[in-house]
A and B are shown apart, each in its own frame.
Chain A
Amino acid sequence: MVNSIITKNLNVYYGDQQAIHNISLDFLKNKVTALIGPSGCGKSTFLRCLNRMNDVIDICRVEGNISLNGMDIYSKEIEVEHLREKIGMVFQKPNPFPKSIYDNVAYGPRIHGFTDKKEEMDLIVETSLKKAGLFEEVKDRLDDMGTSLSGGQQQRLCIARAIAIKPEVILMDEPCSALDPIATSIIEELITDLKKSYTIIIVTHSMQQAARVSDKTAFFHLGNLIEEGDTSKIFTKPDHQKTNDYITGRFG
């Protein structure tokens, strides 16, 4: 088992308030890790540290160490744009650009200068959409606005957009919370497919979803990592009382 991302003694502060307390957590390559926990427990903050999305928040301060394949991602040598090329992200609310479906997917490869040939770009767009399981539905209308798709399709478009820049890791911040059950199940299948090629870290509020899609689960509470381990173990016989209370729905 190879670790993809390793975090060590991570502390995150918003101004004076500490949002994450000394978390050390490793993520296995080509596995799905679910981060669960009640609202405000810091799991989204934690996730956004992994591709340095918190950089844009002025008052946010990150201490500790995060490394991707052994490289410290907060070191000066790492350009944040390169980092985000390696660690893609899918957000809670589908947020396609108000551009065509094609341009949505092609945007990432274009700015990173993957290719300037039309045919190669077409291929990238096609394979990305295929991997996201959207190609069959949209192949005849690639010029339509990305925003004209349904919610579930939009979220798959966002996944295709993230895949198109060939990341190693995909971060998903409650990707199904705005979707209906059918769209959710499609995305869950997709996640299971995608883990063959990518390391996936998913924040979710749905216990069932965590149980269905993830290999590893980490339980967060009030900015602390309470427990982590194999999903089967966390959901059947957790070590911690709090974890047990949460997964059985007694709080949260």
Chain B
Amino acid sequence: MTNLAKRKKAELRFRFYGIFSVFLSLLFVAILIFNICSSGIGGFYKTIFLTSIHFDQKLLNLEDNASEEQIRNASFRKLIKNSFDESFKDYSKDEIKQIKKLFYRKIDIELKNFLINNPEFLNKTTKVELTASTHIDQIHKGNFDRTVQEKHRKVNNFQLEIYDKFVEDQKVKKVWNSTYFTSGDSRDPEAAGVASSVKGSVFTILICFLLSFPIAIFASIYLQEFAKAGKITDLIEININNLAAVPSIIFGLLGLGILLNFFGLPRSTALVGGIVLSFMTLPTIIVACRSSLRAVPPSIREAALALGATKNQVVFHHVLPLAMPGTLTGTIIGLARAIGETAPLLMIGMVAFIMDIPSNPLEPAVGMPAQIYLWSESSERGFIEKTSSAIILLLMFLIVVNFVSVYFRKKYEKKW
């Protein structure tokens, strides 16, 4: 009986270890998510000043019903100067200069865009949402302690005073930051966005998928179903498994050496990035596809063969469809790894300051991980928040991809 008690105790102990491990791993995930969300959610919002602006026709030197082109070419400098001088009559020139610094430095562009979108306000006064400077933005969101000594602050006491006055007048608001999703990278945290890197990532992954998925499937079908078992097949199998474990930066070097230097493909493009990542993803998909092919019961093959199906028909009518769920899972795992990959992309120049949103895979692009890396290196405080926001987006991207894979797996899974 003591033996049984011992065995039961061992089981109990094991259960406890199990629960503890599960709890611990969940805790890590929770801490990670909480940490990123708490510092990143703010990045999706921006602080604005509701500012009353009179779009004076004379100051802008525009006629009635000015065309978009004309507005674009107009100079807003006089208008801005005039508005500030008028709104802050009681302040000295120097003080007004400091007040101006509360705003994002490209007020003229913001006003221009506003007028282009709402031309009916020409010669009228209206309230415009002007983006606050990143320092004010950080103070408003509470990310920066305003009680530190003045010399350690980017915002001086006078500016804080004005800011407080704005808050009192309810002129300061936190609004959804749509620029973050529509613009590319920028030196200014106020204007920086993820659009170019998201698009770069999408192009890269698309190319990676289009290359690696069919190649991997054909390779695994040939190796698993057609190739004669033997030394050569074994050797290939071992090498494919090894390839799956090669550090990703090696693939980057391969891309640099062969794709860029030898074939002369354009540097920093999603095309090259996709090809390099597909080198990396191929072995993962092949291994997954082969093991799912192996898992298809031989009785199905025999059934089809006995009906007079050719080997090809057996594979494509019966075996491959049954191996598809497993293959898709492997593909998603491979692609998910590729999405988050930075090292090989460093080698082919996909870490660059790219302001323009790429319109095709042959234009220079960055991926999201590279963008995160670039931002995390910036000294500007506003970029800390942007970095975390980009991480949140990347995680959401991965979650969506995972759900898609689960959906497809469920769809193709056959009950026995």
Contact = CB atoms under 8 A, between A and B. Distances in A.
Interface string B290-316: 000000010111111111111001000
Interface string A90-115: 01010111100000000110011000
Contacts of A81: 308-310
B414 A84 contact: no
Contacts of B246: none
Nearest to B310: A81
B306 A111 contact: no
Nearest to B313: A111
B318 interface: yes
Interface stretch (A50-58, A181-189, A228-236): A50-58
B303 A97 contact: yes
B238 to A, nearest CB: 20
A88 B309 contact: no
Interface in A142-168: 145, 147-148, 158, 161-162, 165
B308 to A, nearest CB: 4
B322 interface: yes
A98 B415 contact: yes
Nearest to A145: B415
Contact of A84 (B300, B306, B415): B306
A82 interface: yes
Contacts of A148: 415
Given A98-B322, A98-B414, A147-B415, A112 B299 contact: no
B56 to A, nearest CB: 74
Contact of B306 (A88, A96, A112): A88
A82 B416 CA distance: 30
A81 B307 CA distance: 8
B6 interface: no
A111 B416 contact: no
Given A58-B229, A81-B310, A145-B415, A97 B304 contact: yes
Contact of B302 (A53, A58, A82, A108): A53
B54 to A, nearest CB: 72
Classify chain A's interface size.
Answer: 20 to 34
Where chain B touches its partner, the secondary structure class is helix
A98 B412 CA distance: 11
Interface in A109-139: 111-112
A162 B414 contact: no
Nearest to A112: B308
Contacts of B318: 97
B307 A98 contact: no
B228 interface: yes
Given A95-B300, A147-B415, A84 B322 contact: no
Interface string B395-416: 0000000000000000000111
A108 B302 CA distance: 13
A111 B308 contact: yes
Contacts of A165: 307-308
A81 B305 CA distance: 8
Contacts of A34: none
Interface string A72-94: 00000000011111001101010
A89 B308 contact: no
A178 to B, nearest CB: 11
A51 B306 contact: yes
A108 B303 contact: no
B414 A93 contact: no
A93 B299 contact: yes
B322 to A, nearest CB: 7
Contact of A162 (B297, B305, B306, B309): B306
A45 to B, nearest CB: 14
Given A58-B229, A91-B306, A107-B304, 8 more contacts: A81-B308, A84-B306, A91-B303, A95-B299, A108-B308, A111-B313, A147-B415, A158-B303
10 contacts: A83-B308, A84-B308, A91-B302, A93-B299, A97-B318, A158-B303, A161-B303, A161-B307, A165-B307, A165-B308
Interface of B: 228-229, 297, 299-310, 313, 317-318, 322, 414-416
Which 7 interchain pairs have the tightest Cβ spacing? A98-B414, A95-B299, A89-B306, A84-B308, A108-B307, A85-B308, A81-B308
